[in-house]
């Protein structure tokens, strides 16, 4: 059986973007992480070490978002890579990185990238 763990709406301030100003001023981001796994034994035992710790996922996202990238595609891939390295019991995942109010010369709420697999 597969189960899903979601950590949604991780709010961060980061400095990603191709424009030099984005590296100085920064902007608001949200990250959503959905992990397919099997937490059947944790559901029975009530033991944290038998599932994926949300605190660790949040920390990975915060650490990777703190490293400047020109593209949110790049930081999203780093988040995926770290989660795969850290949690061997992840069957598949979905990571969404959303940039709030991007500087794209238009009235746009946000832009986002999604990595699945």
Q: How far is Cα 105 from Cα 113, in angstroms, rounded to an integer?
A: 19
CATH topology of domain 3-116: GTP Cyclohydrolase I, domain 2 (3.30.1130)
pLDDT for 31 equals 98
Q: Are 87 and 52 in contact (CB under 8 A)?
A: yes
Residue 16, φ and ψ in degrees, nearest 5: -90, 150
Q: Coil, helix or strand for 52?
A: coil
Residues in the chain: 117
End-to-end CA distance of the chain: 18
pLDDT for 117 equals 93
Domain ranges of the chain: 3-116
State the pTM of this model: 0.95
Confidence of residue 33 (pLDDT cuts 50, 70, 90): very high
């Amino acid at each position: 059986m597969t189960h899903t763990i979601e950590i949604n709406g991780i709010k961060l301030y980061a400095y990603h973007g191709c424009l030099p100003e984005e590296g100085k001023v920064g902007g608001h981001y949200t990250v959503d992480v959905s992990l397919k796994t099997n937490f059947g034994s944790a559901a029975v035992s009530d033991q944290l070490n038998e599932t994926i710790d949300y605190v660790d996922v949040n920390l990975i996202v915060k650490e990777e978002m703190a490293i400047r990238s020109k593209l949110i595609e790049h930081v999203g891939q780093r988040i995926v890579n770290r989660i795969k390295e850290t949690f061997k019991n992840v069957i598949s995942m979905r990571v969404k990185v959303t940039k709030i109010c991007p500087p794209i010369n238009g009235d746009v709420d946000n832009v986002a990238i999604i990595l699945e697999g």
